[in-house]
């Protein structure tokens, strides 16, 4: 309850910078950031991504350099996504199980170079490995089948854990995959490997630049509405999150982020579990486009979005702006 004017003047605490800092309810630090990185083949390779200005694919040696940069900036986790060469993609995504695939090479190289100074989060889904661009196996009718896909995802997750991954992040939205992956990790002795589930991942229009980055955009046949969530649904997201927590997720993710702040808030209010948001490629590209067009300031737009995620209840945010944000926050 507040008093009446002029006994209560809410502008009093806003009058000076020191007072605004003192009364600030939410704070973003570099420790709240996760930096997504794209891995490509070769050595000494940097491939700028046209639809993601300022973001590149890096060969493994470049990924290691980015991980060291993250450590210096105070960013605690990097998230890896491979751009698998087309000749290694197949209908069944078998390259996901190769212990020497791009993902596993990058995991091992980062852990060899940085040890436990940084966490490595790995994407579990088949779209970077399939020739059709879907996140799972497809039957003759074009339907992405669930249970046989889950079996593939389990082997993919164990493969990444064996390589040294710290956090497994299933982004496929198949039913039952969290329990299956958790049991497999336990069985293989990976008791401390975390699962950050993409629990509420929507069939969004904001993913286009990401699909370009991992090389699946031009390959995708059909859409992903049969397994990713309908943007119109909120109650369904609560059911998805509840199931994933029960099945063994240590944390959950809402993707995309900004258009789904209501979902983040509801998840945080209902469940006693860390919640993360993915500020996806389309959101990143919008900020860069605004900067390039002179209609918005990158730094101001970025920091306002990040504080919105924190205000909604996020423990952290995956963002391609992570190094830039960390530099701003570090002064």
Which of these is catalytic: 108, 111, 201, 224? 201
- Over the stretch 41-96, which tens digit does the pLDDT of each residue have? 999 999 999 989 999 999 999 999 999 999 999 999 999 999 999 999 999 999 99
On the question of pLDDT at 216 being above 90, the answer is no
- Which pair of structure tokens corresponds to residue 114? 């940085």
Which of these is catalytic: 108, 224, 255, 310? 255
- Structural contact between residues 39 and 58, judged by C-beta atoms closer than 8 angstroms: yes
* Torsion sign over Cα 292, 298, 300, 304: positive
201 catalytic? Reply is yes
Ramachandran region of residue 164, left (φ > 0), alpha (ψ -120 to 50) or beta?
left
| Mean pLDDT for all residues in the chain | 95
Q: Dihedral (C-alpha) 213, 215, 220, 224: value to the nearest 10 degrees?
A: -40
- What percentage of residues in the chain have a pLDDT greater than 70? 99
On the question of pLDDT at 278 being above 80, the answer is yes
- Over the stretch 102-146, which tens digit does the pLDDT of each residue have? 999 999 999 999 999 999 999 999 999 999 999 999 999 999 999
Q: Model confidence at 218, in pLDDT bands (50, 70, 90)?
A: confident
Predicted TM-score (pTM) of the model is: 0.95
224 catalytic? Reply is no
- Over the stretch 243-269, which tens digit does the pLDDT of each residue have? 999 999 999 999 999 999 999 999 999
Q: Which domains does the chain have, with CATH numbers?
A: 26-249 (3.20.20.70)
């Amino acid at each position: 309850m507040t008093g009446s004017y002029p006994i209560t003047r809410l502008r009093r605490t806003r009058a000076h910078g020191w007072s605004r800092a003192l009364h600030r309810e939410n704070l973003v630090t570099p420790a709240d950031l996760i930096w997504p990185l794209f891995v490509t083949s070769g050595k000494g390779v940097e491939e700028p991504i046209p639809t993601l200005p300022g973001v590149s694919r890096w060969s493994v040696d470049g990924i290691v350099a980015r991980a060291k940069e993250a450590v210096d900036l105070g960013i605690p986790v990097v998230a890896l996504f491979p751009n698998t060469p087309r000749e290694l993609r197949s209908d069944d995504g078998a390259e996901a199980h190769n212990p020497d695939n791009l993902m596993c090479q990058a995991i091992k190289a980062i852990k060899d170079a940085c040890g436990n100074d940084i966490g490595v989060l790995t994407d579990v889904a088949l779209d970077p490995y399939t020739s059709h661009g879907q996140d799972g196996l497809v039957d003759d009718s074009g339907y992405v089948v669930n249970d046989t896909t889950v079996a593939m995802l389990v082997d993919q997750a164990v493969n990444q854990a064996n390589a040294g991954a710290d956090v497994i992040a299933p982004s496929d939205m198949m039913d039952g995959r969290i329990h299956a992956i958790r049991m497999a990790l336990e069985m293989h002795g990976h008791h401390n490997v975390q699962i950050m589930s993409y629990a509420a991942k929507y069939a969004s229009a904001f993913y286009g630049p990401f699909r370009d980055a991992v090389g699946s955009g031009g390959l995708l046949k059909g859409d992903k509405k049969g397994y990713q969530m309908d943007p119109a649904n909120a109650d369904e997201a609560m059911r998805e999150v509840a199931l994933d927590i029960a099945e063994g997720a240590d944390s959950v993710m809402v993707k995309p982020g900004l258009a789904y702040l209501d979902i983040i808030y509801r998840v945080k209010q209902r469940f006693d579990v860390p919640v993360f948001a993915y500020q996806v490629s389309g959101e990143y590209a919008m900020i860069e486009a605004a900067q390039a067009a002179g209609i918005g300031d990158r730094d101001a737009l970025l920091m306002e979005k990040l504080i919105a995620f924190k205000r909604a209840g996020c423990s952290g945010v995956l963002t391609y702006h992570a190094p830039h944000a960390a530099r701003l926050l570090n002064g």
